[in-house]
Amino acid sequence: MTAVFLDGIVLGLQFGLLGVGLTLVYGLGGILNLAHGSMAVVGAIVVANSMAAGASVLLAVAAGLLAVGALGLLLDGTLMRAVYRLHGESRVLLSLLLTLGVAFVIDGLLVWRYPIGGLGIHIGGDPIEILGVRMRTGSLLASAISIGAGAILVAFFRLSTAGRAVRSVIQDEIGARLCGINPAAVRSLIFGLSGMLAALVAITRSMTAPITTTAGIDFTILALIVTVVGGLGSVAGAFLAGIILGIVNTVSSFYIGTYITTIMLLAAAGLTILLRPSGLLGRRA
Amino acid sequence: MLEVEDLSAGYLGDDVVHDITFSVADKAAVTIIGSNGAGKTTLFRAVCGLLPKTAGRVMLDGVDISGLSAHRIARAGLAYVPSGRHLFPQMTVSENLALGAFPKRPDPETMAVVLELFPRLAERKSQPAGTMSGGEQQMLAVGRALISKPKVLVLDEPTTGLAPKLAADAYAALAILQAQGLTLLIAEQQVPLALSLADYGYVLENGRVQLEGSAEELENDPEVRRAYLGIA
C-alpha cells in the first residue's frame, strides 16, 4: 500500500511538471499548446541519441533540455507571433490549430526518423530500500529529479523577481506593463521553460519505462487533464492536481488494472468540471 | 520634465483627443481637469504608451519617449497609476510593492518612505491585494508606482470610488509627495481638490484643451466656476 502511494506521489510530481508548463503558457497568452507532449518526446529522443553517441547522462540530459527550450523559443518567435496578434476566442482557436499542426509535424518526423519501438535511458545499480519499499536506481533518480525540479519551480515563482513578474502578467497584464515588465519577453521565457519541463518529464519517464516516439499525444492529454483539474494559470493547482491524479493513477492500476487508468483520470477531470468548473485552484470566473 | 506636443490618439482609427500640448515642469504639480468622457484617460494612456499615438511627441526629461512601449516608458521614469489601479489581486501587498521596482529588487530606503506615507500598507503587508478596500488599494497603487523612484508620477482620477474623507486623505498624501519634490500630473473630476494641490492646470473638453492657467486663474475663471466648481 505504501509503495502504491509513494509511486503515485512520484508519478503525480511528474504529472504536475507536465501540466505546469501548459497551464502557464495558457495563463500568460491564451495559447493551449497541443504540441506540448510532442516537444517532450523530442527531449527524450535527443537524450537517448546523445547517450548512444557516447555522451554522459548529465551532458545528454542537458542537451535534451536545451534542445527543447530552444524549440519552444523558436515556436514562440515564429508561429506564435501570428497568434499573439489576435485576441479572445480567435486567439485560442488559432493556437489550437497551429500547435496541433506542430504536433503532427513533430510526431511525423519522429516516426520517420526513429521507427523502432521504445527509447529507454538505462541507469544501472541495484535496488535500494526506502520506507520498506525496494526501488530501482532509475526510479529513485527520476523521483529525486521530479521533487527537485518542483521545489526549484515553486521557489522561483514565490521568491524571485522574475518569477513574480511571470505571475504578475497572468494576474494583470496592464499592471505588469506599468511596472516595467515586458509581457512578450515573459511569454517567450515561459514557452521555453514549459518545453524544458515537459522534456524533463519525458526524460525521467524513460528512466523507468521505455517511451515510444508516438507518446507525444499521451503526454499532451495528461497535461490537459492536469490543467483542467488544477485550474488554468495556477502553478500550485497544477502540482496539487498532479499529485491527486498520480495517486488515482497508481491506485486504480494496482487494484483494478492498467486498462482502467486513463478512464479514471478522465473521470477525475469530468468530476472536477462538474463540481469546480474553474479547477481546484483556478480563479472563479 | 514632461512635455507633450500636439498629441492625438484614439481607438479604432477615431481620434478621441486632438492636438494636445501641455508641459509639467520639474517638481511641479499639474492637473488636467474635465468631465467624464472629456478624454483624460485616453490622453494619459497615450502618454504612458498603453495606447498608440496617431500624432505628436512626448518628451520625458529631455528624452523622446513617443515611440516606446509601456514597459519601456515605465522604466524610463514615468509611473502611471490608472484609475482602475491594475494591482495583482492574488499577490500580497509586499509582493505588489516589490514589483514596482522591477527589474531591480526594491530599495529598502524607498520602501521605508512609502510605508511611512501609507502606514496602512505596513499593517497589511502579507494580505492579498484583491481583498483590501478601495482606499487601501489606491494607496497600494500609488505606493507601487513610488517604489520605482519615478521622475514623474501620473495619476488618473486617484479619488475614483473613494468616500470624501478618503479622497481628502489621498490628496493629503499627494501634498506630502509634492513637498518632497516629486513631479506630479493628475487627471481629476473633483476640481476643487485638484486645484487645491496643483500649481497649474489644463481644462480638457471634447478631447481638446479649452483653457489653461495657474490654479488661481482657473479658480477665478467664470467658466470653470460655473461648470466645475458649481458656483454661479
Q: Residue A178: list chain B partners with CB under 8 A.
A: 48, 50, 70, 74, 79-82, 86, 145
Question: How far, in Å, CA of A273 to CA of A231, rounded?
Answer: 10
Ordered domains of chain B (ranges, CATH): 2-77+150-227 (3.40.50.300), 87-149 (no CATH)
- Judge: B82–A181 Cβ closer than 8 Å, yes or no: no
DSSP assignment string, A69-90: HHHHHHHHHTHHHHHHTS-HHH
Picking from A171, A180, A283, the nearest residue to B75 by CB comes out as: A180
Q: What pLDDT score was predicted for residue A122?
A: 62
Count interface pairs A-B at CB distance under 8 A.
76
Contacts of A271 (CB under 8 A, 6+ apart): none
- Judge: B90–A178 Cβ closer than 8 Å, yes or no: no
Checking if the pLDDT of B51 tops 50, the result is yes
Q: What is the mean pLDDT of residues B34-57?
A: 92
Q: What pLDDT score was predicted for residue A104?
A: 95
Cβ pair A273, A228 in contact under 8 A: yes
Q: What pLDDT score was predicted for residue A57?
A: 84
Long-range interactions of B51-55: CB distance < 8 A, separation 24+: B51/B9, B51/B11, B52/B9, B53/B7, B53/B8, B53/B9, B54/B8, B54/B9, B54/B10, B54/B15, B55/B6, B55/B7, B55/B8, B55/B19
Cβ pair A234, A23 in contact under 8 A: yes
Which value does ipTM take for this structure? Answer: 0.92
Cell numbers found for residue A229: 483539474
Alpha helices in chain A (DSSP H): 2-29, 36-52, 57-77, 79-84, 88-113, 137-159, 161-171, 173-178, 183-208, 216-230, 235-255, 258-275
Q: What pLDDT score was predicted for residue A285?
A: 42
Q: Residue A181: list chain B partners with CB under 8 A.
A: 71, 99, 102
Which conformational region is residue B27 in: left (phi greater than 0), alpha (psi within -120 to 50 degrees), or beta? left
- Judge: A172–B148 Cβ closer than 8 Å, yes or no: no
pTM, rounded to two decimals: 0.87
pLDDT above 70 as % of chain B: 99
Q: Residue A165: list chain B partners with CB under 8 A.
A: 99, 102-103
3-state secondary structure A239-277: HHHHHHHHHHHHHHHHHCCHHHHHHHHHHHHHHHHHHCC
- Judge: A171–B102 Cβ closer than 8 Å, yes or no: no
pLDDT tens digit at each of 285 positions of chain A: 778 888 888 889 999 999 999 999 998 888 999 999 999 999 998 988 888 888 888 899 999 999 999 999 999 999 999 898 898 889 999 999 999 999 999 999 998 888 765 666 665 555 556 556 666 677 778 888 888 998 999 899 888 999 999 999 999 999 999 999 999 999 999 999 999 999 999 998 887 777 888 889 999 999 999 999 998 878 889 999 999 999 999 999 989 888 888 899 999 999 998 998 888 887 644
Q: Residue B82: list chain A partners with CB under 8 A.
A: 174, 178
Q: What pLDDT score was predicted for residue A133?
A: 62
Residue B209, H or E segment = strand B208-214
Selected residue of A169, A172, A174, A179 to mutate for chain B interface (largest B Cβ count, 10 A): A179
Instruction: Tell which residue, A112, A114, A103, A105, has the closest CA to residue A44.
Output: A114
Q: What is the mean pLDDT of residues B126-153?
A: 93
- Judge: B71–A164 Cβ closer than 8 Å, yes or no: no
Q: What pLDDT score was predicted for residue A232?
A: 82
Q: What pLDDT score was predicted for residue B232?
A: 57
Question: How far, in Å, CA of B58 to CA of B80, rounded?
Answer: 14
Q: Residue B48: list chain A partners with CB under 8 A.
A: 178
Cα B165 to chain center, whole Å?
Answer: 20
Cell numbers found for residue B210: 479649452
- Judge: A175–B103 Cβ closer than 8 Å, yes or no: no
Selected residue of B71, B95, B105 to mutate for chain A interface (largest A Cβ count, 10 A): B71
Picking from B80, B99, B103, the nearest residue to A168 by CB comes out as: B99
Q: Give A285→chain B minimum CA distance, Å.
A: 14
Angle at A21 between CA A249 and CA A169, to 5 degrees: 135
Question: How far, in Å, CA of A196 to CA of A40, rounded?
Answer: 8
Q: Using CB atoms and an 8 Å cut-off, which of residues 139-178 of chain A contact chain B?
A: 161, 164-165, 167-168, 171-172, 174-178
Instruction: Look at strands B29-33 and A211-212 and give their pairing.
Output: unpaired
- The alpha-carbon radius of gyration of chain B (Å, integer) is 17
Ordered domains of chain A (ranges, CATH): 2-275 (1.10.3470)
Q: What pLDDT score was predicted for residue A4?
A: 84
- Judge: A172–B100 Cβ closer than 8 Å, yes or no: no
Q: What is the mean pLDDT of residues B72-88?
A: 94
| Residue in A closest to B149 by C-alpha | A179
Checking if the pLDDT of B126 tops 60, the result is yes
Picking from B70, B81, B103, the nearest residue to A161 by CB comes out as: B103
Question: How far, in Å, CA of A282 to CA of B126, rounded?
Answer: 21
Picking from B69, B90, B100, the nearest residue to A179 by CB comes out as: B100
Q: What pLDDT score was predicted for residue A22?
A: 94
Question: How far, in Å, CA of B165 to CA of B119, rounded?
Answer: 17
A215 touches chain B (CB under 8 A): no
